[in-house]
Amino acid sequence: MSWLRKLIGLVAVLFIALAVWRLEESRAGLEIAKDWIGETPVSLYRAPDAAGPVVVIAHGFAGSRQMMEAYSLTLAHAGYLVLAFDFAGHGQNRLPMMGDVGSVDGVTRQLVSQTRAVIDLGLAQPGADGRVALLGHSMASDVIVRTALADPRVGPVVGVSMYSEAVTATHPRNMLMIAGEWEPGLRAAALDALHLVDPSAGEGDTASNSETEVERRAVVAPKVEHVAVLYSTTALSEARAWLDQAFGRTSESEPAETGPWLLLLLGSIVALAWPLTGLFPQRAFAPTQVSTRQFFILIGLPMVAAPLLASLVEGPLLPVLVADYLALHLLLYGGLQLLLLWRFGAKTGPIALFAAFMLALYGIGLFGGALDRYAANFTPHDGRYAVLLAIAIGAVPFMLADSLVTEGGRAPIWRRLSARFAILLSFVIALLLDFEGLFFLIIVLPVIVLFFIIFGLMGRWLARRSGPVAAGLGLGLILAWSLAVTFPLLDPDGDPTETGLAREQAHLSD
């Protein structure tokens, strides 16, 4: 191993240690316990002997309670009893979302009932004084607004990246709305809710109506978007200050600045992969150079054919939003590319299965483990294993073909970028063919982009040592795992008013 690899490896390890220390330090002084309400996992954050209001924190679509931890830690350090939980179909919750995902009487009704069950658990905690606040991000902002309407125990509401058609001039009475600077649509929605109280109020203003006893505020977290707003110190401070004012409290603790340390941790884990790939033996491999005409056939034909062929197959087959379609699309796309590569006489090169396994283990175990601890659920429960296998059947051939088409990262950059653009455009074609049925594929696009930026870089480093097959197989397993743990479980024929509630509230009646 060269001195440069050793130096980068040493620096990366030091940064990983520093980031973990600072992230763990943000938890210091708190008691963090886990409980269950039926199938719903709940994390309770509190300072020792804390007494006061309960704050229930809810994540957005395809999120988990880990994504909300900066708010959980900030408010727990401020003396609140904080409960964060996984919605049905998300994270470690084995119960699927039930009913129509777009209907107020379907999944939304189930999630409101689930939130009320978590409120019950919170009020039963030692030190709870009977007062309750709700904080929710994105999809959950609508859920908490509707929960506050249905449950008179709820006081202040904090909506992060908020949009809800349930907001009126008099409900919720006490509400803070936080949007990222780079969320223009949600900033406009917050202003609309603010103008229901005071048409002249603007961002940063607090509007109030003494007759209806309504008080609202809309604030902007600078230089952040839909995800980064969860780590903005401005947003965290505003949420704490709003709840302190509503409950007549004063907090002196600092907000949990976990965002920069999380970025440092994940970036350092990626950087460490480069020196580690130097431990694998250098395998001689001369990638097959296909002609420019053949290359465009390799990316163009699957780009169009995969969505057209997939549209002929009726679904759903799996209990996860668009997962069955995604697996089929990737299988058709990658399968066609592999067939064309064989037709064009491309060579696979060395098949280093151990290197592929180690790449998958590194991406899922170390990088994924860090995500699971500090940022987002990355651990599948037993209800997702079949989904993981099904997606792998499509993801592995897709990534194997991609690695061969891009020559293990050795192809000219225009070819690598064209190959990435083609799969994204293929999903866009699928959306145009069935926008309503495949709407949630929109979530796949940024996930695929991030996957290629983060894991694709690690795969490229390995491919240069062990060949494109090792990189393709390892990346295929990582992609399947990432998608399987992200997409919500859904039972469109389930009863959100009976099956889900009975199991969730059984815990509370014991």
390: exposed, middle or buried (C-beta count within 10 Å: 0-12, 13-18, 19+)? buried
Look at 103-107, 344-348, 453-457 and tell me which has the smallest mean pLDDT.
103-107
Does one domain contain both 211 and 263? no
In a domain, residue 290? The reply is: no
Q: List the Cα angle 161/41/141 in 5-degree steps.
A: 15
Asked if residues 331 and 401 have their Cβ atoms less than 8 Å apart, the reply is no
Beta strands 52-58 and 128-137, pairing class: parallel
Question: Within this chain, do residues 128 and 162 fall inside the same structural domain, yes or no?
Answer: yes
Q: Are 77 and 29 in contact (CB under 8 A)?
A: yes
Percent of the chain with pLDDT over 90: 80
State the CATH number of the domain containing residue 190.
Answer: 3.40.50.1820
Q: Is the predicted pLDDT of residue 500 greater than 70, yes or no?
A: no
> Within a domain: residue 422?
no
Task: Please indicate, yes or no, if residue 419 is contained in any of the structural domains.
Answer: no
pLDDT of residue 317: 61
Tokens describing residue 486:
């992200």
Q: Give residue 284's pLDDT.
A: 73
Residue 206 pairs in a beta bridge with 217
Let me know if residue 381 belongs to a domain: yes
Q: Which residues contact 485 (CB under 8 A, 6 or more apart)?
A: 377, 378, 379, 380, 384, 388
Phi first, then psi, for residue 283 (nearest 5°) are -100, 130
Across the chain, mean pLDDT equals 92
- Residue-range definition of the domain harbouring residue 106: 27-257
Q: Is residue 496 part of a domain?
A: no
Q: Quickly count: other Cβ atoms within 10 Å of residue 424's Cβ.
A: 15
Q: Are residues 87 and 21 in the same domain?
A: no
Rounded to two decimals, what is the model's pTM?
Answer: 0.92
Q: What is the mean pLDDT of residues 392-412?
A: 94
What's the domain count of the chain? 3
Tokens 């499509």 correspond to 394
Distances in whole angstroms, Cα of residue 269 to Cα of each of 117, 276, 299, 364, 478: 38, 11, 31, 12, 15
For residues 97 and 58, the answer to whether their CB atoms sit within 8 Å is: no
Residue 315 predicted with pLDDT over 80: no
Match 């494109």 to its residue by tokens: 468
- The model's confidence at residue 286, banded by pLDDT at 50, 70 and 90, is confident
Whether residue 418 is predicted with pLDDT greater than 50 in this model: the reply is yes
In this structure, the answer to whether residues 244 and 326 fall within a common structural domain is no
Q: Is 118 exposed, middle or buried (0-12, 13-18, 19+ CB in 10 A)?
A: buried
Binning pLDDT at 50, 70 and 90, where does residue 408 land? Answer: confident
Sheet strand arrangement including 214-221: 31-37, 40-46, 81-85, 52-58, 128-137, 154-160, 174-180, 214-221, 206-209
- Whether residues 335 and 478 share a domain: the answer is yes
Q: Mark whether 190 and 203 lie in a shared domain.
A: yes
For residues 59 and 482, what is the distance between their CA atoms, to the nearest angstrom? 18
Longest dimension (CA), the chain: 79
318 pLDDT band, cuts 50/70/90, is low
User: 3-state class of 155 per DSSP?
Assistant: strand
Give the model's pLDDT for residue 320: 64
Q: Is residue 388 part of a domain?
A: yes
The residue whose two tokens read 């001195």 is: 3
Kindly report, residue by residue over 350-374, the tens digit of the pLDDT. Answer: 889 999 999 999 999 999 999 999 9
Look at residue 237 and tell me if it is in a domain: yes
pLDDT of 505 strictly over 70: no
Is the same domain home to 271 and 357?
A: no
Which helix or strand (DSSP H or E) is residue 326 part of?
A: helix 323-343
Measured distance CA(444)–CA(283) in Å, rounded: 34
Q: Which residue has the tokens 């099956």?
A: 499
pLDDT in tens, 51-75: 999 999 999 999 999 999 999 999 9
What average pLDDT does the segment 419-441 reach? 91
Tokens 């959306």 sit at which residue? 431
DSSP structure class, residue 256: -
Q: What sign results for the dihedral spanned by CA atoms 77, 81, 82, 83?
A: positive
Q: Are residues 230 and 373 in the same domain?
A: no
29-43, 241-255, 273-287, 316-330 — which is least confidently predicted?
Answer: 316-330
Q: Are residues 224 and 364 in the same domain?
A: no
**Same domain for 14 and 38:** no
For residue 396, give the amino acid letter.
Answer: V
Do 144 and 248 fall into the same domain? yes
Higher pLDDT, 126 or 324: 126
Assigned domain for 507 exists:
no
- Band (pLDDT 50/70/90 cuts) for residue 323 is confident
pLDDT value, residue 428: 94
* Alpha helices (H) in 44-183, listed in sequence order: 69-77, 107-123, 139-150
CB atoms within 10 A of CB 421: 12
pLDDT value for 350: 83
Residue 510, pLDDT score: 41
> CB 78: neighbour CB atoms within 10 A?
24
| Radius of gyration of the chain measured on its C-alpha atoms | 24
Q: Within the chain, how many helices (H) and strands (E) appear?
A: 16, 11
Same structural domain for residues 84 and 226?
yes
